[in-house]
Structure 1
Amino acid sequence: MTDLTDLTGRTALVTGGGSGLGAAIATALHGAGARVVLVGRDRGRLAEVAGRLGERTRTASCDVADESAVERLRTELAEEEISVLVNNAGVPGPVAPLTEISVDDWDAVFDVNVRGTFLLCRAFLPAMVARGAGDVVNLASVSGKRPLANRTPYCASKMAVLGLTSTLAFEVGPAGVSVNSLSPGPVLGPRMERNLRLEAQRRGVPVEVAEEAFVSRAALGRMVTEEEVGRAVLAMLAMPGMCGADVDLSAGMVA
């Protein structure tokens, strides 16, 4: 029986690969045997992750929200057979009531979280369709499926990613390409620490109180880890019959 977690011979492109979830996902894919292309804006961070992973890695600098930059990336990687595309690059956006959010802040969130996902899919899907095989995993969020006060740009952008994923699956699924989304809940790490600090400041409470409010809504009573997100991507790639699906990885987070 074929080991579907063995990615030897496959090349995976991970956006936002220089830190956080991107680095964790890249580490998991590399550990399963894949060649990994780390994409991001910070060359130093990309090089650091690539150095840690060692052989079978490559880095490429790109602003995923910039159409010209994505086209240059596609050209730069023309000799790579990208068979796994993980659209992880994302920004959290402001923590504030909608009436206090500027148009520029709103657009900045959608530019990366939605436009970036669209541009990367548009750039690398044609080759997958031509080969009749490939996997796309779009990072969404449980915040795209349930209310989260004072985070409207982020929540709306992640709901857009869910819509993009389910629709795109029906466009390219007949060609043998699977498109799915992964929706993590709050993930331990610098981004969540930043959000908790802002929420604590807004409410005038200690950070520990803001954190407890988050984890109390999870069945497991905790956040998920970056390593768990990486392992979830591997699990999704090991289920070839799954297409157009969204996987909840939130430690049982509820509204």
Structure 2
Amino acid sequence: MTDRVIASRPSLEQVTAIVDFMEKHPALALGQLRGLEGREESKKLWFMLTRVVNNITGPTRPMKSWIKYWADKKSTVRSKVQGGGGDPNNLCSNIEKKIWDLFLAGDNGKPRGVKQESKFLDENLYDEESMDQNHVESDPVLAFEEPVADVEERQTALMEKMFKVMSDQAAAMTQLAHASQVNAQAMERLADASQIQARAIDRLANTFETISAATHDVRNAIVDIDATMKRYYSTSPT
């Protein structure tokens, strides 16, 4: 099991991504997706958010765990404001203030009941109203600073990295093709040199054959001269 799975505390980037996603989908954040179509839309959005958050630096969690975390987070923010006399300035981070301003400031301190349907999860999920009364957030509350990046920026950076890798790969393939061409040219030159060497050997062999034939002719001439001289001396008067 990796450290990402073992870790239980979401990173700042993950929490920022969750809040930004909920800001774009307030009906999901406020539990207003009801009925058959609403459940399907809620399921689709939670799957989408889970994929996004799990691809960010921080712990990897199943979808139901992120649903629980979101309910816990809102419950914690609401409890802090109520415990501070209804003053949201008691919140310790900009993330919590943003959650209050976007999703909780208009509920007059009354929890919103949000039941997540169990049809697309492994077990019955979470009623935020019961969590507000009975549940204490399991993850430590962090004093987060301002968001540093959003999902679109990370996706853009990822695309740029992929483009760079593809460019490097194309350059490597070009270099490989050039090296193959140089190697082919070298092989052609080697073949030409081998052909020239073969022709030289043929000429040398022909030269040796010519020398051998000339030597044979000289030998025959010497034999003829010797025979002629013998006949001459044998027929001369003594």
Q: With structure 2 as the length reference, what TM-score do the two structures score? A: 0.24
Larger CA Rg, structure 1 vs 2: 2
Q: With structure 1 as the length reference, what TM-score do the two structures score? A: 0.23
Larger helix share, 1 or 2 = 2
Larger strand share, 1 or 2 = 1
